[in-house]
Copies of this chain bind each other. A is one copy, B any other.
Amino acid sequence: MKKIVIGQVGGPTSVINTTLSGFVKSTKDDHELIYIENGYEGLFYGRFIKGEEKLNKWIIDNERVPGACLGSGRFSLSERSIETCVEQLKSINADTLVVIGGNGTMKALNKIEEKSTEIGFQIQVIGLPKTVDNDLGGTDHAPGFGSAAKYVAQTTLDISRDLRSMKNFEKVRILETMGRNSGWLALASGFLRRYKEDGPHLILIPERKITKEKLIERVKEIIEHYGYAIIVVSEGVELETSGQIEKEVVNGRKILGGISSAIADLLKKELKVMVRAELMGMSQRSSSTFISEVDYKEAKEVGIYGAQCVLEGRSKIMVSLQRTKQLDYNIIKIPVDLKEVVKEGERNVPDYFIDDYEQYYEWLKPFIDINSYHYPSPIARRDNNVKEPF
């Protein structure tokens, strides 16, 4: 029986509790579970809670509920506070530390492991992946991303049809997605686009810079061609000469957001048309309705596999998801070296996806399980030689 300490760190996803639940279900009967409140902040302050049966059951009951059950947070760890975290773990004689998180989480986890080794405190360290941004290295994708991508894809198509019918009144909508310094989510906005009349007509991602002049020119062309424009922009995009838009810095972390408003202001001024900016917002990471079944299944499997790694005595690893084939979607779980994950840093969208969206959408397909009904082509009437009403 091991004493396993587990926490959730960083922005929640709609399936972050699914992973926790999978892990808890697989370990609660044979091990002692200790929960950390509010991620690394709780670890630093030693806010541990005993995993009693009722609490464990409550966590399992929350497996489809957004927000992190244990409380999460963004607490940046200095070298000194890494030491404190290790001391806290040592003081309760923890055998294992499991953390569910993204990039920053894995980096800190690696440091905690190093510090433990340094002081001769033996602890098993396992990371479980989670991020809507999908910018985590060492894994094909991370749980949470698929559901967020599904939300972004459907919302963009819906809002596009809405604007299309109002184009005599307003011309441009700028929809801002999450993603930090990567364009995975923003690019997902085009997944359900089957007709070129539908948006998104332009997707801006941090991986490809665009000048203000070029942007204005492209939007002008789009409006001339379709009568309206749906532009999707990733929060981390910098317009050449303007830089990323930071709202504020909290706990040393830049809060991005606002590039859509900056672009809206620019286009209003230059094109003299009505432009609306809108954040896709917190629903991307918390919509229970848009949970992707594949994402849900994998999030759970990551938790269950994490439990298996505990048993097998694996340490200094992160559980990763790997595709076994290109076309038939089949995923296996593999432990990857935590150091390798950290070394890879923020994972951007590869060029071959950016240069050929269709290739990206083929890759994205398993996550977006929307088949409930079809959007008829907006140009069906033109095909039939009937004058198009709008």
Q: Chain A residues in contact with chain B, CB under 8 A?
A: 8, 11-12, 14, 35, 37-38, 41, 47, 49, 52, 54-55, 58, 61-62, 64-75, 154-155, 158-170, 173, 248, 250-251, 255, 274, 276, 278-279, 281-283, 285-290, 373, 375-376, 380-381, 384, 386-387, 389-390
Copies in the complex: 2
- Which residues from B are CB-within-8-Å of A173? 282
A58, B376: Cβ atoms closer than 8 Å? yes
B386, A52: Cβ atoms closer than 8 Å? yes
A73, B166: Cβ atoms closer than 8 Å? yes
- Cβ-defined partner of A38 (8 Å) among B158, B248, B390: B390
Q: A49-B389, A389-B35, A389-B71 are in contact. Are A278 and B282 (CB under 8 A)?
A: yes
A170, B250: Cβ atoms closer than 8 Å? yes
Q: A38-B390, A62-B376, A288-B154 are in contact. Are A165 and B72 (CB under 8 A)?
A: yes
A12, B281: Cβ atoms closer than 8 Å? no
Nearest CB on B from A169, distance (A): 5
A158, B384: Cβ atoms closer than 8 Å? no
B165, A71: Cβ atoms closer than 8 Å? yes
Nearest CB on B from A355, distance (A): 30
Residue from A8, A71, A159, A166 with most neighbouring chain B CB atoms (10 Å):
A166
A389, B65: Cβ atoms closer than 8 Å? no
Q: A248-B274, A278-B279, A282-B278 are in contact. Are A168 and B287 (CB under 8 A)?
A: no
Residue from A47, A64, A288 with most neighbouring chain B CB atoms (10 Å):
A288
- Which residues from B are CB-within-8-Å of A162? 12, 66-67, 282, 285-286
> Please, which residue of chain B has its CB at the minimum distance from the CB of A75?
B168
Nearest CB on B from A262, distance (A): 14
Nearest CB on B from A379, distance (A): 10
> Please, which residue of chain B has its CB at the minimum distance from the CB of A56?
B386
Q: A66-B158, A158-B288, A282-B278 are in contact. Are A54 and B165 (CB under 8 A)?
A: no
Q: How far is the CA of A5 from the CA of B326 in the complex (A)?
A: 53
Q: How far is the CA of A72 from the CA of B12 in the complex (A)?
A: 39
> Please, which residue of chain B has its CB at the minimum distance from the CB of A14?
B158
- Which residues from B are CB-within-8-Å of A64? 373
B389, A283: Cβ atoms closer than 8 Å? no
Q: How far is the CA of A76 from the CA of B164 in the complex (A)?
A: 19
> Please, which residue of chain B has its CB at the minimum distance from the CB of A62?
B376
- Cβ-defined partner of A159 (8 Å) among B164, B166, B248, B282: B282
Nearest CB on B from A304, distance (A): 20
Nearest CB on B from A296, distance (A): 12
- Which residues from B are CB-within-8-Å of A381? 54-55, 58
> Please, which residue of chain B has its CB at the minimum distance from the CB of A380?
B58
B288, A289: Cβ atoms closer than 8 Å? no
- Which residues from B are CB-within-8-Å of A55? 381, 384, 386, 389
- Which residues from B are CB-within-8-Å of A389? 35, 37-38, 47, 49, 55, 69-71
- Which residues from B are CB-within-8-Å of A71? 165, 167-168, 389-390
Pairs of residues from A and B, 10 with the lowest C-beta to C-beta distance, nearest first: A71-B390, A67-B161, A162-B286, A67-B165, A68-B165, A54-B384, A73-B168, A61-B376, A158-B286, A67-B162
Q: A54-B384, A376-B58, A386-B54 are in contact. Are A283 and B159 (CB under 8 A)?
A: yes
A168, B41: Cβ atoms closer than 8 Å? yes
